[in-house]
Amino acid sequence: MPSRPFPLALALLALALPAASQTTAPPPAFMQREKGHCIACHQLPQGAGPATKADLGPRLTGARMRELGRARLRDLIQDPTVANPNTVMPPFGRHRILDTAEIDRLVQYLHALP
């Protein structure tokens, strides 16, 4: 096959640009009342999801999520009472509100927040 680096590079760039210029919409578990319903308590960075007045929990920022890291985020969603017995946040994993796949999806979303 003849080498065509220039068109290939353009194609790769075209694929990368949309991902860099938009944030992923919150997964269903973030929004749905019967699931995580995270939107009820936590505000998202501007543009990353619906704007709310929710402040029962801290604001979610990409910097803070990446500072915590994926493993810690997973633990916090699984059972936040381990770190803070007085927390109001439900133990989504321990009480089987969310399954492993849903928690993983949330962690992926949170870790990629702006």
Partner 1 sequence: MRFPECIAGIALAALLSLPAHAAGPEDVRAGIAVALKERLPELAPQDYRLGAAALDAELRRALEENAGAGAATVEAGKALWTRKFKNGRTLSGCFPNGGRRVAAAYPQFDPRLKRVITLEMAVNQCLKSHGEALYDHADPKTMGAVTAYLRSLSDGQKVAVRVPTAAEERFEQGRRLYTSRLGQRNYACASCHVQGAGKHFEDTPLSPAIGQATHWPVIRKGEPVTLQERFRECLELMGAAPFPAGSEELNNLEYFLTFLSNGLPMAANAWRPER
Which segment (12-20, 23-31, 59-67, 89-97) binds partner 1 by CB under 8 A? Answer: 89-97
Residue 18 CB, nearest distance to partner 1 (Å)?
31
Residue 40 CB, nearest distance to partner 1 (Å)?
5
Amino acid at 11: A
Nearer to partner 1, 8 or 55 (CB): 55
Q: What is the DSSP letter of 113?
A: -
List Cα–Cα distances, 105 to 26, 29, 49, 108, 109, in angstroms: 10, 8, 16, 5, 6
90 binds partner 1 (CB under 8 A): yes
- Spatial separation of the C-alpha atoms in residues 25 and 107, rounded to whole Å: 13
- Spatial separation of the C-alpha atoms in residues 59 and 15, rounded to whole Å: 31
- Spatial separation of the C-alpha atoms in residues 21 and 103, rounded to whole Å: 25
Which segment (2-10, 22-30, 66-74, 91-99) binds partner 1 by CB under 8 A? Answer: 91-99
39 binds partner 1 (CB under 8 A): yes
Residue 86 CB, nearest distance to partner 1 (Å)?
5
Block residue for tokens 């059972």: 79
32 binds partner 1 (CB under 8 A): no
